[in-house]
Each structure stands twice: as C-alpha cells, then as structure tokens.
Amino acid sequence: MEEPFYELLGQKYPVLPDLLPLCGCGHLENLNGNVSRLNGKLSCNCSVYISSDDYHPNENSQGSQAPWTLSAIVGEAKQFPLGAERMELGLNINGLSIAKKPSRDYHSPHMHDRDAMKNGSFEVRGRKVYPGIEELDLLEGRRNKQIAIFSDEPTRNEAFDKVLLCSEQKPIDEGTISQRTMSDTSTKYAQKDQGRKPARQKTRGKTRKKKEVVDLRTLLIHCAQAVSVNNHSLASGILKSIRQHSSPSGDDTQRLAFYLADCLETRLSGTGSQINRNFIATPRNAAYILKLFHLCFTVSHYLRSSYYFSNKTILDVSKGKSQVHIIDFGICFGFQWPSLLKQFADREGGPPKLRITGIELPMPGFRPDGRKNNTQLRLVEYAGMFKVPLEYRQISSKWESISIEDLNINKGEVLVVNCINRMKNIADETISINSARNRVLHTIKMMKPKVFIHGVVNGSYNTPFFLSRFKEVMYHYASLFDMLDKTTPRDNETRLILERDIYKYEMLNVIACEGSERIERPESYKKWKVRSLRARFEQLPLNPTIVKGVQHIVRQIYHKDLFVDEEDQFLVLGWKGRIVYALSTWKPSESNNES
C-alpha cells in the first residue's frame, strides 16, 4: 500500500525484509537456542513442568529547491526562547548505575562497515541456499556471520528479586526517592547560591557574552522538510546548527534534538537499514535490561501500572479455578510473570496448575529463539520457589502465521491472552491489505479466551508521509524525555543508556526506515478500539477495584505530572495531559460468526 506514495514522489520503493521489533525489549538480545519446525514454520518450542512439591536521496533530483534559506531558518529559530532553565532533579537509587562499557560507540550516527566486520555481524562468507526457508529476515541473518554467544548470566539473583517481586507499594528507598530528592536538590542549589556575589559586582568591568538561544524544535522541523525533498546542502547546514546547540547530556530538549539529528542524518545518508541491523545483532543480556527496567519502574508508572492491571485481571478471572493458561504475545524476558507467580502462591485455596505459552517474533540468524533458555529457566526457578505447578512453552514465529493448533489449548482451563505494548510491531494495511494485525486479532478471537488484555502505545507516527511522521514522533518522545528530565538526574548513566540505546533506535526506525523494515507502527487507542470491534471483540468494563489500585500507586509513589484516568473504557496513562499508553480488556463477541 505504500508504493503509490513513492510513485507520486518519483522515488523507488524499498523492498526490505522484516526485522525484529525495537520496543518492549524485543530487539535487545541475541542468545542461544534451537530451531524446530511447527507446521512448516520456523519456531521454537519448549515445555517444562514443575510438580507442586534509506533513502539514499538523489543528489541531482529536480524540484528539490525549498522556499527558505539556512540563514533565514536559523534567524527565525533564534527568535524563540527556550524558557527558563530546568533545575536538575536528583535521583540516587542503589543499583541503578551501570559500569561504563566503552566497547561500542553508540553516539556515532553511523556504524561503519569496517567496525561491523570486526564485530563479526556483517562478515559475509557467501550466499547459500536453504531449501524450504522463505522468511527473508531469517535468510538475511544466515548470510551474515553471527558470533555465538554463550551467556553464563544468572537467571535469578537478589537484583532480579528486588525488581521483579516488588510489592504493590514500593520500598521506602525507592518509593519516596523521587519526591525526596526533588526537595533535597532544590535545597542544595539554594544553599549553593547563598553567599555568591551579586552578578553586577562579579562582572563589573567585564563584558558578558550573551548566550545564544535557538528553538531546536523549529530547526528540526525545517531540517526534516529539507530531508523530505532531498535538499542535502540545506539539511546538512541545519544539522550543523542543531549539533552546536544539542547534547546527549543536556536538558530534555537538547537530548531529544541530538538523537533526532542523528536519525535525520541517517536517513539523509541512506544507512538506516545497516545501522538498524547492526543494532539488532548486538547481544543484550537480561541483567543489562533489568537495569533499564528498574529505572523505568522507579521513575514512571507506565510499566508498573500495565503489569498491575494485567496481573490483577488474571487473578480476578481465575479466582477459584484449578487450571490457568496464559498466552503472552511478546513475552520477551518474561519479567511480568514472577510477581504473578508469587500472587498465585498466596491465593486462597492454593495456586492453580499454570501453563504459560510465550510467543515472540523470531530473531534474525541461526537462533530465532535466542532468549528462550534464560526466560524458561528464570520462570521455572521462580515457580519452584513459590511451589506453583508450571508448564512453560515458547514459540518463536511470526504472529500472523500461528494457528490455534499450535497452542495446545485444553478444555477446562481458564484461557487468558495477554499483549502489553507489542502489537505496534505487527504490520498493518500499509504493508498488506490483509494486514497481519487483523489476522492476529482473528486468531485470538478463535481461541475464545476468557479475557484478552491489551496494552497499546498511543502514538500517531504510523503515516506513510515522512514529514507528518517526523513531527508526531518528535512530540511523542518529547513527552518521554521531559518525564525523565523531571525525575532523573542528567548524569545518571542508566538514563543515558535508556535514551541512547532504546529511545534513539525506536526513533531511528520510524525516521530512517521504510516499508516492511519500519516496524515501529503504533496506532492511537481509539483506532485500536475500532479495529478490535471490527474483529468482533466486545470491550469489557474496567474493574473499579483494579482502577483504584492503579490510581493509589500513582498518587502515592510517582511524580505529580504522571496521571492515570478512565476514558471510553480504557485505562489511560500519560504525562502532563498527553496520553502515552492505554489498557483495556476484551472478549470475543457472543454474536460473532466464525468466518
């Protein structure tokens, strides 16, 4: 569906293979695993039971002259002040800092082929033919030499317990740390300013250099306009100006501008695909992700509220039942489930016999089920600790190709389907008229679950038009960067890694990739409602007790600008009035015809 837009613009539509998603940690690891076939599809299955004991634009393209000049744009931008300087807010949380690992330079907007060859991820030995394998992403991964990673990381330790088994109320060292450090930091700066000489006295006889102020958002939009019409000289000039006023260690606006400039430069150079693949091929272990997970849990209610909402809903629908089957689309590292295992263990009447089927998109290369082993062992260990009978199975496959027969659904068990913030990585109608999203929803409907728990990223940057997409992704991530700036010190290394390794590459995928390679495709929660109703789902009313529980957590623990509210039977989460995530529950419509 995107081809006509490119034809109108006189550009060649890029034919690109599917890639692993960037969000929800789906791209963050490349570990070991075994490949098996499931009804002709590449997938990975395992069972455990525990007893109860780019756009390389044409430099010579015509019609690329823009009705503006670089000097005019910069002059216009300087007329808009950025406002008062934001105060740094302290956050000193034990265990959040990560030792520096200067092995890879992620600040560079380009990762050169020479570095990639040394890394091993792009060392091509020659093209081979693999009979019966049609998945282009897997085939592409096999053409590139992959380093086998044998990880001896712990599947569970004190650090995992502290984060994954956190109670509904945060411990005192984390629960009140944000508010306390805000007050302490304000006092510290006030005391530091006392005793200083007045500015006039201090600078008497000297000529003070006035600090140059520019509107970075205006510059970014003008740069995106230049990129959209292939005006390399103008775009490069604006990028140079943005670089002079942005920094990965500045305030939220400067950080966002720094990474967006990287993304625009990547699109301009046409290297988005290469950088995307390099990043996906870089292994990340669970302990690394746990650090980021811990920070997100501490400063934001997005993940905590989503997991609380989902787990409480599962406990509610399975009350008094002896068998429960959870099908989790986008299980990733399985960080959601240890706390549910603990709550099942504390359930009146004892825990049920639990089955978890984790579904993930295949990773490129020889090991599409890369993180299976560690996720399996981690959940098995927690289940053993809480004496919860667990049968775990994992499938690594494209979601739209999974059939009900693959899931081994048994009669008599309470079936719950869970998908938190990962459906955005599934292709929509701009890739295929018979969209993968609709096919996945149809499969879920045919499962006839007791409840389908759906969390979505509320974003509008899924348009085929580049400039509109750029503006929307800038506004969306401006909210996330602003939230971090209000709750986390600017020199916090975990924050730097989160912004550089996660947010930047999500934005890069949206800005510098096209076609099937662009996998960050969120929709607004209102569009998801229309899509779900068309798929013949019936929306369930929110449980008032669960809603009050989420609201209590947010009021007691988190920053006052983080909010949770009810809207059109969705539980919406956001920052300063902007809805970032939305949660809802569904069931197949009783009047639906199986077609």
Q: pLDDT of 467-517, one tens digit each?
A: 999 999 999 999 999 999 999 999 999 999 999 999 999 999 999 999 888
Q: Whole-model pTM?
A: 0.73
Over residues 113-125, the mean pLDDT reads 37
Annotate 546-567 with b (16+ C-beta within 10 A) or e (fewer).
bbebbbebbeebbbeebbbeee
When pLDDT is cut at 50, 70 and 90, the band that residue 130 belongs to is very low
> Residue 104: its pLDDT value, please?
41
**Dist CA 41 CA 305 (whole Å):** 35
Closest CA to 82 of 223, 221, 246: 246
The pLDDT, as a whole number, for residue 352 is: 97
- Residues 339-391: pLDDT tens digits? 999 999 999 999 999 999 999 988 765 555 555 678 999 999 999 999 999 99
Name the more confident of 79 and 177.
79
Check residue 211 and give its pLDDT. 60
Mean pLDDT score, 302-328 = 97
Confidence of residue 308 (pLDDT cuts 50, 70, 90): very high
Amino acid code (one letter) for 415: L
Tens digit of pLDDT for each residue in 185-196? 433 433 344 444
> Taking all residues of the chain, what is their mean pLDDT, rounded to a whole number?
77
Nearest 5°: the CA angle 385, 387, 391 is 100
Does pLDDT of 142 surpass 50?
no
DSSP class per residue in 552-576: HHHHHHS-TTEEEEEETTEEEEEET
3 state DSSP class of 404 = helix
State the Rg of the chain over Cα. Answer: 25
Per DSSP (E only), the strands in 132-181 are none
For the domain bounded by 3-56+142-173+277-588, which CATH number is listed?
3.40.50.150
Model confidence at 324: pLDDT above 70: yes
- Quote the percentage of the chain above a pLDDT of 90: 55
For residues 229-239, give the mean pLDDT: 96
| Angular region, 214: left φ>0, alpha ψ -120 to 50, beta rest | beta
Res 64: pLDDT: 41
Better-scored residue on pLDDT, 377 or 136? 377
- Over residues 438-456, the pLDDT tens digits come to 999 999 999 999 999 999 9
Within 8 A by CB and 6+ apart from 99, the residues are none
